[in-house]
Amino acid sequence: MKLTEIFKKKKSVPRANPVTETDVKSPSASATGQQQTTAQTFLNKNGDQKPTPVVSRAGLDEEDLDILAKQGSTKPEIVDPNKAVADGMTVLDVVAPKTFEIDFDYIKINGVYFRTLFVSGYPRFVSPGWLEQIINFDSSLDISFYVYPVEVKGVLEDLRHKIAEMEAEIATDLERGRIVNATTQAKLDDAQLLQEELVKGSEHFYEFAFYITIPAQDLEDLNDITKQVQATLGSLLVSAQAATLDMENGFYSTLPFAADRLSITRNMDTTSLSTTFPLTSAELSSDSGVLYGINPLNESFVIFDRFSMENSNMAIFATSGAGKSYFVKLESLRSLMLGTEVIIIDPEAEYKDLCAAVGGQYITFSYSSLSKINPFDLSQIYEEGENQLGLKVLSLHALFKVIMGALNPMQEALLDHALVETYRAKGITQDPATQKKEPPLMEDLYKILVGMETEPALDLAARIEKFVKGSFIGIFDQQTNVEINNPFTVFSVREVQDALRPIAMFIILEFIWTKVKRDLKKRLLVVDEAWHMMRYPDSAQFMWSIVKRARKYYLGLTTITQDVEDFLTQDIGKAIVTNSAIRLLLKQSPAAIDRVAEVFYLSQGEKQLLLGANIGEGIFFAGNHHVPIYIVSSPEEHKLISTKPADVIRKQQEEALAKKEKEKIDAAPVLQTNKTVASPDFAKNASVVAISTPVNIGIATTAPPDIFDKKVDLTQKSPADVQKTIANKQ
Ligand SMILES: Nc1ncnc2c1ncn2[C@@H]1O[C@H](COP(=O)(O)OP(=O)(O)OP(=O)(O)O)[C@@H](O)[C@H]1O
Ligand SMILES: [Mg+2]
C-alpha cells in the first residue's frame, strides 16, 4: 500500500483536535545542563519553575526539609497516601514522582530514564501490519499515534496548486529538452490519484503523528534500546529521531492524555492510515483452555479452549516424525487435567506409557487378547423418531462393505436381508423391547448366509469366513466385554494385521461413538493415523459422519494424518478439514505442500515456513485466525510421551536403575526379619504414616536420599517401631 507523499509538513491545516497548550518550559532552559524540578512543576502548566514547597504542607518543618534536601530529594517518602492527603497534601502531589530531571536527550523520573523518538520519514509503500515489529519489540515501549482528520476542502485546494506546480516543472523540463525528474513524475501521479479519490469521497485525509518513548534503567541501556528501535524502524524505511531538547514534551505526548505536544505530523489518506493499525499481530491467547505452544513471532502463549469454537474438531497434518502424536499427547494430558475425558485409537501402541502414567485404561485388540467388541451390539439409545435397528443395519452395511469389498446392487440387497434375518433369528426386531436381548455374532450372519444356499449368498459368506473360521478369528466374533469407564482410555490396534486395521478402527469407532452418544460428557476422541479410515469410501464416510455430529455430543474429534495427499485428494477428506475448526500443520514435504496450500489457503511465506519447519514447529489455525506455533513440553511431559529411540533407551536405563535400587533396598538386612510379621491391615495404616512423616522413617541405611520422596512400605520395618511411630503421631 502507498503512503501518499505529496505535501511537506504543514501546520496551517485546520484540525479536528488542535493542540493549544503551550510548553511548560522552553527547551533552551534545560539546554544549560541538568535540572531538577519538583513533581509539582512537572504537572504545573503555567510555566512556574519555582519548586513549590509541597513538603511543608505535608506537615514537615524546616529541619525535615533540610534532611530531604541533603538526600537530594524535595519530596518526602509517602508511606500512607491517605494520611498524606488528610495532612493537607494534594492528590496530585501524592501521585507525582519524587524527582523529574530533564536533559538534552532524555528525562529521568524517579531514577528511570526515558527518551522520546518521533517519526519523521515514512516509506512510499507499506503493507498492512508494517508496525508489527515495533509493537512486538523485545523491550517495553510507550507508543502514541495521533490522527487528525483534515477538512478535504482545504486539501483539495492545496493539491490543485501542487499539481499545477509539478505539471509546470515537468512542462518546463520538456520544453528545455531535459529529462523529466522521475520523483516529480511519481509525486504528480500520486497527487492526481489522491485528488481523484478525495473528490469521489473514496478516501479521506488525515495528519498522522507517531511517537515512541523508550524507558530504561540506565543511560547505557537507553542508548542501546534507542539504537535498536531506530534500526528496526530503519529496516522498514521509517526514520525516527530523538526529540532532542524537547524531551519533556515528547514524554508528555506519549502519556495517555491525548495531548500532542510535539505536533510533528505527516499527511496520510485513509488507506495508508489503515496500514498503521497496530493490532495485527497474530495472538491466540484466551483466558481458558490448554497451552498448545508458543507463538514464535512475539513469544506469546497459544492458549485455547477448543470447546469454545463452533465445533471442537481438530485436523493435524504433517510428515512422519514432525511431532503430530507428540502434540496430541500433550494436549490429551493437559486436557485431562482440566477434566476432559480422552479416548484414543492408537495404531502404533505409542500411547501406552502415557496411559499408564495417568492411570488410564489400555485396551489391546489382537487374536490373543481378551478384549472383544461385537459389531452387532445395539446402542440401547432410543431417540424420538429413530429406528435403532434400522440405523444399526445401515452402519453394519457400511462395515461389511469394507470387510467384503465391492458389492453389486444385488449383493447389497442380499446383505441387507441377511442382516435383518440375523437379528430376527435372535428374536430382535424393530420393537425396542426385543432389542435388549443378546445381540447376534458374526458367526450368526455367516450361518444365515450359508443357509440361504444361493450362489451370491455363499459368495458373501465366503468373504467373511476368515472372521469366523480363518485367520481373523477371535477379535470381532464374540460378545463385547470391554467398557469405557476410565477418563483416559486407549484402544490399541497395533497387533492387528495391516489389512484388518481399517476394519478394527471402524468397529472400535462405532463402539466409542455409541458410548459418546449414550452419556454426554466433555470428551476428546483422537484417531491417530486416521488415513487408515480413508482407505475405503465407507469407513471414510463413517469418519465424516462422526465429524459432522461430534459437536452435538460435546465431542472433539482429532484426526491425525501423515498421508496428506491421500487425505486431501478425497472430497470427504477436504470436508473433514472444513469441519474442523482447529487445524494444525507441522512440517510438510515438497510433494504435498501445494495440495496443503490449496486447501488451507497458505501464502508463499507460510509454505516456506512449513517446508523448513523443525520438529514441533508449524501453523496453528483456530477458526479464521492462525498463528505460527512451536510446541513445547516440560521435561516431565517429554519423558512420558517421547518415542524417539534415544529417549526410549534413556528411559529404559533409568527404569532399570530404579529397579536395581529398589532391589537393593529390599535386600537390606534390617528389612528382612520383620517382613513376615506385619498384617495387611497394619501395612495399610503404616503406609499412611509413611506418607505423612517421610523424613522420620529411616528404614535402610543403604537407601538413596530420594527414597524419602516415595511412598515407603513400612511392612518392611519392625512392627514395634512402626507402632511407636503411629502412637507418636496420635
Ligand atoms: N515439540 C516437540 N518437542 C520436542 N520433541 C518433539 C516434539 N515433537 C516431536 N518431538 C520428538 O519427535 C518424536 C516424533 O514425534 P511424533 O511421534 O509426534 O511424530 P509423528 O508426527 O506422530 O510421526 P508419525 O507420523 O510417524 O507417527 C517424538 O517422540 C519426540 O521425541
Ligand atoms: Mg504419530
The C-alpha atoms of residue 587 and residue 611 are separated, in whole angstroms, by: 6
C-alpha of 417 from chain center: 50
Which residue type occupies 7? F
C-alpha of 26 from chain center: 50
The C-alpha atoms of residue 462 and residue 449 are separated, in whole angstroms, by: 9
SS (H, E, C) 110-146: CCEEEEEEEEEECCCECCCCCCHHHHCCCCCCEEEEE
CA of 528 to the centre of ligand 2 (A): 7
Strands, DSSP E only, in 564-609? 582-585
Q: Which ligand is nearest to the CA of 588?
A: 1
Which of 565, 629, 642, 647 is the pocket-test mutation for ligand 1 (most atoms within 8 Å of CB)? 642
List the grid coordinates of 237. Answer: 524505511
pTM above 0.85, yes or no: no
Q: What is the pLDDT of residue 255?
A: 93
The C-alpha atoms of residue 525 and residue 342 are separated, in whole angstroms, by: 6
Alpha-carbon distance values, 26 to 106, 471, 704 (Å): 15, 96, 73
CA of 297 to the centre of ligand 2 (A): 27
- Which among 325, 313, 288 has a CA at the least distance from the CA of 303? 288
Which of 610, 615, 643, 651 is the pocket-test mutation for ligand 1 (most atoms within 8 Å of CB)? 615
Strands, DSSP E only, in 137-296? 142-149, 205-216, 239-242, 266-269, 290-295
Nearest alpha carbon, ligand 1 atom 2 = 616
C-alpha of 540 from chain center: 29
The C-alpha atoms of residue 36 and residue 232 are separated, in whole angstroms, by: 33
Q: In the chain, what is the straight-line distance between the N-terminal and C-terminal CA atoms, in Å?
A: 78
Q: What is the pLDDT of residue 557?
A: 95
- Which among 75, 118, 52 has a CA at the least distance from the CA of 251? 118
CA of 641 to the centre of ligand 1 (A): 9
Residue 250 near residue 213, CB atoms below 8 Å: yes
Ligand 1 atom nearest the C-alpha of 322 is 21
DSSP at 304: E
- CATH 3.40.50.300 placement within the chain: 306-630
The C-alpha atoms of residue 248 and residue 106 are separated, in whole angstroms, by: 8
Which of 325, 353, 584 is the pocket-test mutation for ligand 1 (most atoms within 8 Å of CB)? 325
Low-confidence ranges of the chain (pLDDT < 50): 1-60, 65, 671-719, 722, 725-726, 729-730
Q: Can you give the C-alpha Rg of the chain in angstroms?
A: 38
Q: What is the pLDDT of residue 433?
A: 84
SS3 370: coil
Q: What is the pLDDT of residue 686?
A: 33
Residues listed for the chain = 730
Q: Is 289 left (phi over 0), alpha (psi -120 to 50) or beta?
A: left
Q: What is the pLDDT of residue 63?
A: 59
Alpha-carbon distance values, 204 to 2, 171, 270, 357, 466 (Å): 14, 30, 5, 63, 77
- Which among 302, 307, 284 has a CA at the least distance from the CA of 557? 307
CA of 339 to the centre of ligand 1 (A): 25
Q: What is the pLDDT of residue 292?
A: 94
Nearest alpha carbon, ligand 1 atom 25 = 320
Q: What is the pLDDT of residue 669?
A: 62
Q: What is the pLDDT of residue 602?
A: 86
Residue 541 near residue 507, CB atoms below 8 Å: no
The C-alpha atoms of residue 107 and residue 115 are separated, in whole angstroms, by: 7
- Which among 722, 719, 674, 671 has a CA at the least distance from the CA of 696? 722
Q: Which ligand is nearest to the CA of 643?
A: 1
Ligand 1 atom nearest the C-alpha of 586 is 21
User: Could you tell me the CATH superfamily of domain 306-630?
Assistant: P-loop containing nucleotide triphosphate hydrolases (3.40.50.300)
**φ/ψ (deg, to 5) at 246:** -135, 35
How many beta carbons lie within 10 A of that of residue 526, not counting itself? Answer: 24
Q: What is the pLDDT of residues 39-97, one digit of tens each?
A: 333 333 333 333 333 333 344 455 554 555 555 555 667 778 888 888 888 888 888 88
The C-alpha atoms of residue 442 and residue 510 are separated, in whole angstroms, by: 16
Helices of type H across 176-218: 182-200
Q: What is the pLDDT of residues 590-641, one digit of tens each?
A: 998 998 988 888 888 888 899 999 999 999 998 888 889 999 999 989 988 8
The C-alpha atoms of residue 324 and residue 344 are separated, in whole angstroms, by: 14
CA of 614 to the centre of ligand 1 (A): 11
Residue 618 near residue 585, CB atoms below 8 Å: yes
Which amino acids bring their CB within 6 angstroms of ligand 1?
A: 318, 320-326, 562, 615-616, 631, 633, 642-644, 647
